[in-house]
Structures are given as structure tokens and as C-alpha cells.
Structure 1
Amino acid sequence: MNERWKPSATVAAVIEHKGRYLLIEEHTPEGLRLNNPAGHLDPGESPEQGVARETLEETAYEFKPTALVGIYLSRFHRPATGEDVTYLRFAYCGMVGKHHPDQPLDKGIVRTLWLTPDEVRASAKRHRSPLVLRCMEDHLAGKRYPLGVVHTDGSIYG
């Protein structure tokens, strides 16, 4: 029986402020890892809504996407469990907003970090995925696409 291949749709925030990038440190089966604020797209939301929600849940910062940095396809194989997943990531940059310090972070999130590009590069062995560094480098290179390049049909909301 042939099963249809279905990559997991995810969103990620590439947030830069005063020369530093906002990352999260989280528990994973591979140990503590660094990641962009990111997560799976939920039913009934656009990628823009999803990235704002995930950022708030994982960092307690409001986030307003202003541009698409890129769309990335990557495969992850977890040796311990045999899990093999392909991710389709929509990475957005934008404006960081109000911080809600009393809001608890998502389960598994240990803390948030504001790192310089050199610190992000130096910590690459601790990244949850190679896309953490790739998204930052694309952002530094000035890659920006209009939000309208990703269209969410109204049928998603109904």
C-alpha cells in the first residue's frame, strides 16, 4: 500500500532586535537544543497567524510578521525512535512587540535568549535543526518577500 507523503507544515519567527536574534532553549529527545520560536501550523489559521501565536506561546513576546524570509524543506531523522519527518517551514521576520513576563512558556521551553549572529553561529551544534542558522543567515543577507506571496484561502477559516 502506498501512503501519500505529507510534510509537516511549520512556521518560524526570525526576530532581530538591536543586532541580536531571539532564540528559545528547549528540551528535546536529543537534549537541550536552541531553536527559532517555531511550531506546527494549526488548523484554521494562516501561516502569519501561526507564527504570531507560536512566538507568543514560546517566548511571551508579541510578534507581527512583516515579511517572509523563506520557505524551507528539510528532513529530520531521530535515531533514538526511528522517527523520520519532513518539514515545510515558513520563516517570517517582523516586529517584536510587548513582552508578557508573567506568561508561562510552552511546555519544554526552558528560556529565551538574545544572541548575536556570531553567538548563533558558534552554537550550531546545539541547534534543533540546521534551519536555525540558515534562516538567520538568509535574514542577514536581506532576503525578504512580501507577505502576500503566501495566500491563505478563506476556506481555511470555515
Structure 2
Amino acid sequence: MTWTPHVTAAVVVEDSHGRFLLVEEVSGGRTVINQPAGHIEEGETIVAAACREALEETGWRVEPTHFLGLYTYRAPANGVTYYRFCLIARAAEKLSDQLDSDIITTHWLDLEQIRQRREQLRSPLVLQCIEDYRNGRQFPLDVLVETQT
């Protein structure tokens, strides 16, 4: 049996009012809250995947500014290991109200509202990424060395 980790890209986006861009989606038969995030496609860079996922899931064009971190999570429900490359981005422009079919809606929530919905978060990484961001964790984007062939 071959072990296949799932590699995803996510963005933490905060607006000028201290609210974070999140999506409400269905996963495993339940409604959950998550950052804009999704699988990196073959041949796609991490930054491009993060931007694509944000646009597809929220309608926002985002501009990554920093790398937040690489997070690992093994989902107890299915045993899948996820590697999440999380970027910090700014919301540049709302381009569309058309969202991926898996997305119910988008939310701009402050940290307290997110904490109040802890049981609804898709994984503990949602809150951990936001708290790491709020604690000043950030690295330059050039720590991601993505060679295109």
C-alpha cells in the first residue's frame, strides 16, 4: 500500500476591521468553517494554488504577502495526512459572487467569532493559523523555492 499525503494551500486574509475571510462548506456530511484552501494541482506552484483557491472559493483576488508556515494534520475521521502550506494574503479585489459548488457562503469573522465557532472549524489548523498570524509569525515568500521546468 502506498502512503499518499494530501498537499494543500491556504490563505489567512484579514481586513482593516480585524475580520478574517473564511468559507462555510460541507465536509464529511457536516457544515464547517475553513480558510480558503484546497489541493495543489500537478504543476501548480504553492502561491498560484493559494490564489486560485481563494478566488474559486470566495470570489476574491488575493495577493500573498508572506509565508505563514507548513502545517501537518492527520484527520481522525479518515486517517488522511494533510500538509497545509499557509500564506498570508491581502484581499485585493472582489471579482465574483460565483463560488465553488462545495462552498455554501463566505464570512468575514473576527477572532472571537471564530473562537465561538471552534466546534464548527474544519480542523484545528483554521484557528491555529489565525492565532499564529496574530502572534506575528511570518516569513518572506522567497522561503518557498518553486522551480518551474
TM-score, normalised relative to structure 2: 0.95
For 1:67, the equivalent position in structure 2 comes to: 66
The aligned amino acid for 1:28 is: S
Q: Give the whole-Å Cα distance in 2 for the aligned partners of 1:71 and 1:29.
A: 24
Q: Are 1:115 and 2:100 an aligned pair?
A: no
Residue by residue, what CA displacement relative to the aligned partner does 1:28-84 show, whole Å, maximum 9, x if unpaired? Answer: 224110000000001111100000000000000001111011110110132xxxx32
**Equivalences for residues 1-158 of structure 1 within 5 A:** 3-18=1-16, 19-78=18-77, 83-102=78-97, 104-155=98-149
Deviations 1:76-117 (A, max 9, x none): 132xxxx32000000001211111244x10011010000011
2:57 and 2:19 mapped to 1: Cα distance? 17
* Partner amino acid, structure 2, of 1:38: A
Number of aligned residue pairs: give it: 148
Structure 1 distance, partners of 2:27, 2:89, is: 27
Give the residue type in structure 2 aligned to 1:94. Answer: A
After TM superposition, give the deviation of residue 24 of structure 1 in Å. Answer: 0.3
Q: 1:90 is matched by which residue type in structure 2?
A: F
How far the C-alpha of 1:128 sits from its partner, in A, is 0.4
Secondary structure at the aligned position of 1:63 is classed as: strand
Give the root-mean-square deviation of aligned CA atoms: 1.1
Deviating 4+ runs (over 4 angstroms): none
Shift of 1:4: 4.0
Query: C-alpha distance in 1, partners of 2:7/2:101?
Result: 20
